[in-house]
Structure 1
């Protein structure tokens, strides 16, 4: 068997279609099919059940794909070892970023990084945390920027910064006269939230130590956009919470409605995460140092209470 054959198997397992898989690996469909058939004949087993639509892995095929992924990933890292030894910082680097971090953090560091490391070819995807973890484990991402702690086996977390939660309280809200808020001031059914899948929403639910209950509500609404939540708050439909970096880009007319929390300020931890077996550490360290260089001037809060995005509702304090 060859690494090429294993790559073909992984492509078909991902796309569940021989034609799409062939396009992914830049060969003709007959060539790909022939090589997979040769591998099946050599092993005297069937990897794919071709009678089903879409194509499905057989039971033994599932185990073979898992091992093939490990073999291909390890073979790819031979070049990584050479690059590290030479101190070379370059090549393709696949980075995932969660949606509530992408629009604020990315513009802050991407220009500096590309100028400093012109040989690195960044491929950036905006993904929810669940998809990021899956792609990291499957080797489709080299690293990601996400809210932590995640406590996932095999995933390393390197904290970049702690980002406070900031309340957006319009002038007609009952909390509008408060100077600073306390966590106990929050009522979960009064908060406008992001839709499911956003870890920032999970953090807010953990902060309030409650689950959202829409029973009896006249309006049931969750959005994927902070901008939408702000506009709805301005219409008197409640208040919302924002990540601190997002507040820096608000209009001056909107900033007057921002309210900080009393110390320790509730915050989320944003980290660079990657597979523990990742060998592109020279690029990961370059990313970490570049982000650290731009973020330290934007976020200077010290006494914060980290709110976990996990359902376990863990929290801890950083001074």
Structure 2
């Protein structure tokens, strides 16, 4: 039994698909499949039920996967303890961010962090909140940048900043004549949203509950294809498919001229989201977390290109 085999079964249990699990583990599908089968033979019991459409844990496999998860977390803790004796601002720092934050925050805070800790390599990745949560627990990531609410046992969460939402539209759109937008103003206009799984979609529907019935009735509200990003929504708006709602940082990061797309703020109370930093309470490199926090807080989005 090896740590890699434990990592394989934990990932397979999460993905319920050999191909996706192999991709996340950076191995080929046959390699992962053989390793899982080898572990099942060693333990003398099947861990997974396999079918053409999905893979799921057996009742006993579920217990073994849960224990494997604990082993991987403790292994990550051993590495963290070993790093305590090293320079806290020298070892690599692995940071994840959700899809609606990372592309717009990374270009701002990475140069700041490089100035604060020039000898600390920084590895970044993007993902859904659920994926980043799992990778933080396993020790694959040292810290994650997410949008509240977010709770996780033995994980510290620190609020970084509040970010307002804005409406993005064609410069000739009827709503462009307004200085500020009321949520009810969106009625009878085509509104483009991210697909399910994005927490930003849920936040929009919470801030603009009038969109929910229209979404259920498929009236004037359209969900982008799975895997789409905020940039995809922006391009869809530019192509004349409707309007959308973006976080302020994403609205500023545009390559479209002001005679193509414009933004409008909401009336008070302006819908906002709280961006937060989360890390394991056991993570020993407090100076690295402090440097990361300061680099993010000092970001200034005002120098971004406005739309």
TM-score range, shorter chain: 0.7 to 0.9
Please, what TM-score do these two structures have when normalized by structure 2?
Answer: 0.73
More displaced 10-residue stretch of structure 1: 250-259 or 193-202 = 250-259
Counterparts of 1:290 and 1:237 in 2: how far apart (Å)? Answer: 37
Aligned to 2:147: 147
Secondary structure of the 1:150 match is coil
Which of 267, 270, 277 is residue 275 of structure 2 equivalent to? 270
Please, what TM-score do these two structures have when normalized by structure 1?
Answer: 0.71
Q: Say yes or no: does 1:46 pair with 2:47.
A: no
* Aligned-CA RMSD value: 3.9
Counterparts of 1:92 and 1:120 in 2: how far apart (Å)? Answer: 6
Q: Is the 8 A contact 2:168 2:244 kept in 1?
A: yes
Secondary structure of the 1:95 match is strand
Counterparts of 1:134 and 1:79 in 2: how far apart (Å)? Answer: 18
Counterparts of 1:220 and 1:34 in 2: how far apart (Å)? Answer: 44
| Counterparts in 2 of 1:151 and 1:11: CA distance versus 1, 3 Å | closer
Counterparts of 2:106 and 2:49 in 1: how far apart (Å)? Answer: 45
Aligned to 2:296: 291
Counterparts of 2:248 and 2:26 in 1: how far apart (Å)? Answer: 43
| Counterparts in 2 of 1:74 and 1:254: CA distance versus 1, 3 Å | farther
Aligned to 1:13: 9
If you compute each CA radius of gyration, which structure gives the higher value, 1 or 2?
1
Gaps of 5+ in 1: 300-319
Count of matched residue positions in the alignment of Structure 1 and Structure 2: 284
Aligned to 1:67: 67
What's the offset of the Cα at 1:266?
1.7
Secondary structure of the 1:120 match is coil
Counterparts of 1:67 and 1:216 in 2: how far apart (Å)? Answer: 44
Q: For residues 206-217 of structure 1, what are the structure 2 equivalents within 5 Å?
A: 206-210=206-210, 211=212, 212-213=214-215, 215=217, 217=219
| Counterparts in 2 of 1:15 and 1:269: CA distance versus 1, 3 Å | closer
| Counterparts in 2 of 1:267 and 1:35: CA distance versus 1, 3 Å | same
